[in-house]
Structure 1
Amino acid sequence: MFKHILVPTDGSQLSQEAVMRAITFAKETGARITFFYAKPEYPVAFYGEGALIDPTTPEKFAQMAEQQAKEILDACTKLAAAEGVECATRSKTSDIPYEAIIEAADAAGCDLIFMASHGRRGLGALLLGSETQKVLTHSKIPVLVYR
């Protein structure tokens, strides 16, 4: 059935639970996994006519984002290895995570995206929507949502 699964993660508790379930699913179906982390872009905040200056340089911010991605993806890799599931990792800098997730799945040749149902609720969900919802509505690849 499914042979290559993309598992996006952001390191949150819900995301980590989805990672564990995806590993079990992959082991049961004989699939391999590509774990994916969308690194944030350097934030620039504008106020009135000027920009608020962040003391962190873009280079330092990118370095910190890369380190965070490495830590999160390494943890996923260790969990998969412990269960004997073949895996790889990818990350990409993007402020539009749902697009980065779909692009990563296409680029890796995945036939399923397995992701958590992120818990944005209320007005925030109405105004912003969740990344999971956006992946569901834009992906041509099947999406399995873990709750």
Structure 2
Amino acid sequence: MFRHILVPTDGSGLSTKIVNQAVGFAKDAGAKITFYFAKPDCPVAFYAGMDTIDPLTLESLANMTEQQAEQILAACEKLARDAGVTCARASTVSDSPYRGIIDAAASNGCDLIFMASHGRHGLNALLLGSETSKVLAHATIPVLVSR
């Protein structure tokens, strides 16, 4: 039924569990996976209280984020390839992860988003809201939510 699955990941323990579930699901369905990582954006407002902004600091943060995305997506890719599942990777800078997830699904021609039921806990979840809930509310393709 599904041919191309987008699997958002942040490298957390729960996310790794979901990646394993998605790989098994894709293998059973004969589907391809695109693993997606939303790289955080460093908004200018973050630096508003600083007198000077060192451009090397911004470049260093961008490089660290890129390395993090590479490590996380490479680990996902290895799990899929070891299981014999065809896969690809995608990542974009996004100040709104749910929007990045939906856009990645569309631009990669995915027909299902397979994601965790939750990510952040406690006060962070209250302040930031649930990315899964936002994906569910705004996606135009099916979303499979797993725990």
TM-score normalised per structure 2: 0.90
Aligned length: 145
Residues 58, 121 of structure 1: CA spacing in aligned structure 2 closer, same or farther, 3 A cutoff? Answer: closer
Matches of 2:21 and 2:116 in 1, distance apart?
A: 10
Matches of 2:51 and 2:68 in 1, distance apart?
A: 24
Cα shift at 1:57: 1.1
5+ long unaligned stretches in structure 2: none
Cα shift at 1:53: 6.4
Residues 70, 122 of structure 1: CA spacing in aligned structure 2 closer, same or farther, 3 A cutoff? Answer: closer
Identity within the alignment, %: 61
State the AA in 1 paired with 2:142: P
Residues 120, 63 of structure 1: CA spacing in aligned structure 2 closer, same or farther, 3 A cutoff? Answer: closer
Matches of 1:100 and 1:121 in 2, distance apart?
A: 21
- Equivalent residue number for residue 72 of structure 1: 72
- Residues 47 and 53 in structure 2, CA contact (< 8 A), matched pair in contact too: no
Pair 1:106-2:136 in alignment: no
Q: Residues 15-72 of structure 1, C-alpha deviation per residue, up to 9 Å, x if partnerless?
A: 100000000000000000000000011255367xx33767761111111100000000
State the AA in 2 paired with 1:59: E
* Secondary structure of the structure 2 residue equivalent to 1:114: strand
Q: Residues 58-93 of structure 1, C-alpha deviation per residue, up to 9 Å, x if partnerless?
A: 111111100000000000000000000000000001
State the AA in 2 paired with 1:136: L
* Secondary structure of the structure 2 residue equivalent to 1:57: helix
* Superposition RMSD in Å: 1.9
Cα shift at 1:128: 3.0
Matches of 1:129 and 1:54 in 2, distance apart?
A: 29
TM-score normalised per structure 1: 0.90
4+ runs deviating over 4 angstroms: 52-56, 121-124
- Equivalent residue number for residue 115 of structure 2: 115
Matches of 1:110 and 1:54 in 2, distance apart?
A: 39
Matches of 2:9 and 2:2 in 1, distance apart?
A: 19
- Which stretch of structure 1 is more off in the superposition, 27-36 or 56-65? 56-65
State the AA in 2 paired with 1:51: M
Q: Residues 116-136 of structure 1, C-alpha deviation per residue, up to 9 Å, x if partnerless?
A: 111445555444321111100
- Residues 113 and 143 in structure 2, CA contact (< 8 A), matched pair in contact too: yes
- Equivalent residue number for residue 88 of structure 1: 88
Residues 137, 71 of structure 1: CA spacing in aligned structure 2 closer, same or farther, 3 A cutoff? Answer: same
User: In proportion to residue count, which structure has more helix?
Assistant: 2
5+ long unaligned stretches in structure 1: none
